[in-house]
Amino acid sequence: MNDGMLRELEERFLRYVRIDTQSDEASSSAPSTAKQLDLQRLLVKELEALNVRDVELTDYGCVLATLPATTENADVPTVALLAHVDTVPGFSGANVKPIVHRNYSGDPIVLPDDPTQVLSPDEVPDLTEKVGEDIVTASGTTLLGADNKAGVAIIMTTVDHLLNHPEILHGTIRIAFTPDEEIGRGVAHLTPEALAADVAYTLDGGPLGEITYESFSADKAIVRIQGVSIHPGTAKGKMVNALQLAATFATTLPQSARTPETTEGREGFIHLYRMHGTAAQAQLHYILRDFELEGLAAHGELIRSVANTLQAGEPRARIECEITPQYRNMRYWLEENMHPVEMAITAIKDSGIEPVIKPIRGGTDGSRLTELGLPTPNLFAGTHAAHGPKEWVSLQDMGKAVEVCVHLVTLWNHSVKSGNSNGNTARANEGPP
């Protein structure tokens, strides 16, 4: 990537992260917060200024657009590129002050608005590989929002580059910027039919070269506790404190083997991420994660078992447990058709990068789209330490992601549709591109 493109990428990214787009799980609207539309409307204007076609802001807050094909081969599959605009509800994304640490020296990075927040190479080994690059952080009191505005900036820069170079042959490209991914609703309203693509890729991954075709399977659990409310002055033998029961519930679950802070690799977890209420009533919100459906089911059974035990011990209370599916491991579908993954691996190698194939301890919009029939692996966007004040990204890594996107859409120009809309594409007769 030349210096001009890198500057453009940087300007876009810094512009986007300054816009607060935090989603809200408690909201039932679509999108869940109106402020996500501040960025979406900006993206519509920028896409229209680039003369991208079919630019649309849907009534559920998703931006869709089309980059027309430059190839004359009508059989080239339509490729979609996706990123989400919202940031996680659990940490502030308001008043983000991005800082570009030019030509990173390898020393610890102290975030100025909270000097206790330090990015140290001793604690963050990935930083040691970024000496000489341009590192972007927030100022210490907010997250940066690289998850997933890095992906948004990467896609927008890719679109701009392809429009300025019509000699690069590619098929039709669909663009989608989704809201509410962080609360599990990123593609709740976006159907594969509306996206109108044969294959898709989310730009929502981590370090350089990462490609993901295996994600967690995910459920959500809400435990609702109804206590017995009475004036504390006359409460003896009568009050049933819902908050006390909630605390007992949380501590009864195994803490050493089934929480995010005690698991890694292919280990699943049960994560209490929200608890609220009064002495009269309380709620505990959990996310359940596992790579295999059997493990996910076991997490749910444990939650129900603890609820039943607590209910039996205090029959005056009412304890209910609701478990709802969120998404499933994309591997279950992609392993039946690995061609989209193979194309991404080739594009990464063609960009001079060693592919890093690993399961993601999370999920993306691609997990749900793949389940719905549109194969959607996840590609790196360069993000590190997401969801907290130490989030950071290398601009050079983001630039490499743009290169990968360009290589990817040109590689698909050498493939031919098999004739079915679920993305089961086959290589051209001349062999692998």
Known active-site residue 198: no
Q: Which residues contact 328 (CB under 8 A, 6 or more apart)?
A: 217, 218, 293, 367, 371
Burial 138-152 (b: 16+ CB within 10 A, else e): bbbbbbbbbbbbbbb
Closest among 155, 28, 117, 138 to 409, alpha carbons compared: 155
Given 20, 134, 181, 365, the catalytic residue: 181
CA distance 364 to 359: 12
Do residues 405 and 158 lie in contact, with contact meaning Cβ atoms separated by under 8 Å? Answer: yes
Burial per residue of 10-45, b for 16 or more beta-carbon CB atoms within 10 angstroms, e otherwise: bebbbebbebbbbbbbeeeeebbbebbbebbeebbe
Catalytic option among 8, 46, 86, 182: 86
Q: Could you give the CA distance from residue 181 to residue 188 in angstroms, rounded to a whole number?
A: 9
Annotated catalytic, 86? yes
Token output for 98:
């991005």
Q: How far is CA 328 from CA 189, 334, 377, in A?
A: 17, 12, 13
Tell me which residues are annotated as active site: 86, 181
